[in-house]
């Protein structure tokens, strides 16, 4: 099963830039989308149904903001909308689809770049997320957690670690949280296969950052340790410019 995760920074904008053509050619089995920025999802759903996807949308209550979705060719046994925490569910931050062999969680972590208040919300979110996933793993032990985490874990994951040491997204406490989360029983699947530098998933729209590959790796597929033998490949597609992020892929194989 090939899973794509992609912060599209507006689903309609990504469609206009060629997202559908790429999906038609690439044919992933499941797609996790973040920042769909669309409440009236029916205006785009037929495009994805035509490609063979069952569509599950979880937009934010605030129009034109945030929102996640799971699109899948394999119909899930169950879909869960939200975390059951009002402040995060209002912003459309999580959706889960349960399949026979694993559960797929699509999530969009808050950004803290707009100031101290949002940074505080971000840090509260990551702690609440940790507790939520710990509880979920008791009943759903095989988890794939896909999405925009808005944190670079290690120096290898950011183009200029020294200059960004005090930047939201690379703060010591954020990086420590990712390490603690992985230590609790999860795999950073891209790093499981690839330890090379200069692999990023987001680039600033300023200063020609993308052309110079001055990026950050803030999008992840995390997988439960129990799925390690089923991990077949992971990839990043920086050549695709439908958003300021790029798609990432995880391939799982089950007998």
Beta carbons of 108 and 68 less than 8 angstroms apart? yes
Contacts of 198 by beta carbon, 8 Å cutoff, 6+ apart: 159, 213
Beta carbons of 91 and 62 less than 8 angstroms apart? yes
Q: 177-201: per-residue pLDDT in tens?
A: 999 999 999 999 999 999 999 999 9
Q: What's the whole-number average pLDDT of the chain?
A: 97
> Following CA atoms 161, 166, 169, 174 in sequence, which dihedral angle do they give, to the nearest 10 degrees?
100
Helix (H) or strand (E) holding 138: helix 116-139
Do β-strands 143-148 and 103-108 pair in parallel, antiparallel, or remain unpaired?
Answer: parallel
User: What CATH number did the domain enclosing 127 receive?
Assistant: 3.60.10.10
The active-site residue out of 148, 157, 188, 219 is 148
**DSSP count for the chain of H helices, then E strands:** 7, 14
Asked if residue 221 has pLDDT above 90, the reply is: yes
8-state DSSP, 98? E
Domain count, the chain: 1
Q: 34-88: per-residue pLDDT in tens?
A: 999 999 999 999 999 999 999 999 999 999 999 999 999 999 999 999 999 999 9
Q: Which domain holds residue 136?
A: 2-252
Task: Establish whether 183 is a catalytic residue.
Answer: no
Q: 6-31: per-residue pLDDT in tens?
A: 999 999 999 999 999 999 999 999 99
Asked if residue 255 has pLDDT above 90, the reply is: no
pTM above 0.75, yes or no: yes
8-state DSSP, 227? G
**Per-residue confidence at 149, pLDDT binned at 50, 70, 90?**
very high
């Amino acid at each position: 099963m090939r899973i794509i995760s992609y912060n599209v920074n507006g689903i309609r904008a990504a469609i206009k830039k060629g997202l559908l053509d790429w999906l038609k050619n690439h044919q992933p089995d499941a797609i996790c989308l973040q920042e769909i920025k669309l409440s009236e999802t029916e205006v785009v759903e037929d495009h994805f149904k035509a490609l063979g996807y069952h569509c599950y949308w979880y937009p934010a209550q605030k129009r034109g903001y945030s929102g996640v979705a799971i699109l899948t060719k394999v119909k899930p046994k169950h879909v869960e909308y939200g975390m059951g925490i009002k402040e995060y569910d209002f912003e459309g931050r999580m959706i889960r689809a349960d399949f026979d062999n694993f559960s797929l969680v699509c999530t969009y972590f808050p950004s803290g770049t707009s100031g101290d208040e949002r940074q505080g919300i971000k840090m509260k979110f990551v702690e609440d997320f940790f507790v939520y996933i710990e509880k979920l793993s008791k009943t759903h032990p095989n988890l794939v957690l896909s999405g925009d985490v808005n944190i670079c874990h290690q120096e290898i994951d950011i183009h200029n670690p020294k200059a960004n040491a005090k930047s939201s997204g690379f703060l010591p406490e954020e990086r420590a949280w990712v390490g603690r989360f992985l230590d609790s029983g999860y795999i950073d699947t891209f790093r499981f296969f690839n330890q090379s530098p200069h692999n990023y998933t987001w680039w600033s729209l300023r200063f020609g950052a993308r052309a110079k590959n001055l990026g950050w790796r803030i999008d992840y597929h995390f997988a439960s340790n129990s799925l390690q033998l089923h991990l077949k490949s992971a990839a990043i597609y920086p050549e695709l410019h439908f958003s300021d992020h790029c798609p990432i892929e995880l391939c799982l194989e089950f007998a």
